[in-house]
């Protein structure tokens, strides 16, 4: 147990730092580069660290299940977790997010038409910026789902 104790808490602390920062960045749509990938995959380090931390401190951990406040807090989060599995109603969420999803799935010529240009002019504008798009290709396919690139392409197409 001594060996686990040496790395369990530092691993939990480091993984929490990574998960918290990348989660906040994603919440505000400020994430870039590998933030989302790091958040999704390296959160497993937090699971391992917390699991090891609980194992090493199991006797103290058990005492929390005798305290009403601790049980209440854990119960609230368990309830929120349960509710998070309920399907969201159609049409819920931000209208801006819905518009962006629609634009990202639309063929590039549709997005170009919305910018007020014809397809040839829009494709040329993209080509001039080093972006090789083909008719029928969506923004999502063109960018591999990278939101920052999608926004950059939309800005490029929409600027006059």
pLDDT of residue 29: 86
The pLDDT score that the predictor gives to residue 91 is 63
Tell me what pLDDT residue 99 has: 86
* Predicted local confidence at residue 56, as pLDDT: 93
Q: What is the predicted pLDDT for the residue at 106?
A: 92
pLDDT of the residue at 8:
93
Res 108: pLDDT: 93
Q: What are phi and psi of 60, to 5 degrees?
A: -70, -35
Output the pTM of the full model.
0.56
Collapsing DSSP to helix, strand or coil, 84 comes out as: coil
Q: What's residue 92's pLDDT?
A: 65
- Residue 117's CB is within 10 A of a number of other CB atoms, namely 18
Cα–Cα distance list, 141 to 8, 60, 83, 95, 97 (Å):
41, 51, 33, 22, 18
Per-residue tens of pLDDT for the chain, all 160 residues: 888 989 999 999 999 999 999 999 999 888 888 999 999 999 999 999 999 999 999 999 999 999 999 999 999 999 999 999 998 777 667 787 788 888 989 999 999 999 999 999 999 999 999 999 999 999 999 998 888 888 889 999 988 7
Query: Which of 87, 93, 106 lies closest to 150 in space, CA to CA?
Result: 106
Whether the Cβ atoms of residue 104 and residue 137 lie closer than 8 Å to each other? no
């Amino acid at each position: 147990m001594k060996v686990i104790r040496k790395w369990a808490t530092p691993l939990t602390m480091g993984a929490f730092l990574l998960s918290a920062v990348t989660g906040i960045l994603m919440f505000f749509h400020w994430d870039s580069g590998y933030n989302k990938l790091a958040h999704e995959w390296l959160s497993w380090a937090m699971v391992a660290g917390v699991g090891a931390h609980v194992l090493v401190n199991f006797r103290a951990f058990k005492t929390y299940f005798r305290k009403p406040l601790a049980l209440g807090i854990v119960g609230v989060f368990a309830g929120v977790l349960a509710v998070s599995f309920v399907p969201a109603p159609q049409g819920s969420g931000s209208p801006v997010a819905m518009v962006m999803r629609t634009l990202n799935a639309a063929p590039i010529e549709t997005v170009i038409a919305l910018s007020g240009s014809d397809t040839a002019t829009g494709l040329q504008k993209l080509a001039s910026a080093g972006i090789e798009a083909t008719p029928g290709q969506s923004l999502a396919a063109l960018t591999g789902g990278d939101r920052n690139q999608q926004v950059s392409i939309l800005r490029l197409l929409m600027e006059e």
